[in-house]
């Protein structure tokens, strides 16, 4: 079965830089999108097409991809960036959508 693996939890000091990774053996040609979810809220799209920010998302968020690993970087993390982050893509063989295992980001 297809899987997207993320580190369970990462912490960052206020104003510092954090990188969250998403690794999937079957990523193939499909791009990766990223979502953050704060407690009690629906997820929100923060990155699509590997590296494109939706309107309204601060430019401290950036995305990249190298082979089977995608990354979301927050440069100058703010307290409001504390959330769970999930990647999403499609399995190259089945075409099924899959979410990553999720990363809990804590801003200290």
Partner 1 sequence: EVQLVQSGAELKKPGESLRISCQGSGYTFRNYWIGWVRQMPGKGLEWMGIIYPDDSYTRYSPSFQGQVTISADKTSSIAYLQWSSLKASDSAMYYCVRRDGSGWDFYFAYWGQGTLVTVSS
Residues contributing to the site for partner 1 (CB under 8 A): 1, 29-31, 33, 35, 37, 42-45, 48-49, 54, 84, 86, 88, 90, 95-102
Provide the minimum distance between the beta carbon of 47 and partner 1 in the complex, in angstroms, as a whole number.
9
Q: What CA–CA distance (Å, rounded) separates 23 from 85?
A: 14
CB of 88 within 8 A of CB of 99?
A: yes
Residue placing its CB nearer to partner 1 in the complex, 15 or 49: 49
Provide the minimum distance between the beta carbon of 62 and partner 1 in the complex, in angstroms, as a whole number.
16
Q: What CA–CA distance (Å, rounded) separates 48 from 32?
A: 6
């Amino acid at each position: 079965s297809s899987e997207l693996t993320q580190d369970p939890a990462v912490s960052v000091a206020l104003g510092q830089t954090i990188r969250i990774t998403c690794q999937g053996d079957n990523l193939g040609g499909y791009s990766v999108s990223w979502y953050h979810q704060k407690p009690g809220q629906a997820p929100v799209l923060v990155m699509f097409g590997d590296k494109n920010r939706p309107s309204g998302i601060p430019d401290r968020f950036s995305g990249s991809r190298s082979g089977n690993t995608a990354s979301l970087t927050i440069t100058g993390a703010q307290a409001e960036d504390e959330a769970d982050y999930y990647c999403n893509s499609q399995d190259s063989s089945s075409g099924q959508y899959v979410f990553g295992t999720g990363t809990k980001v804590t801003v200290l």
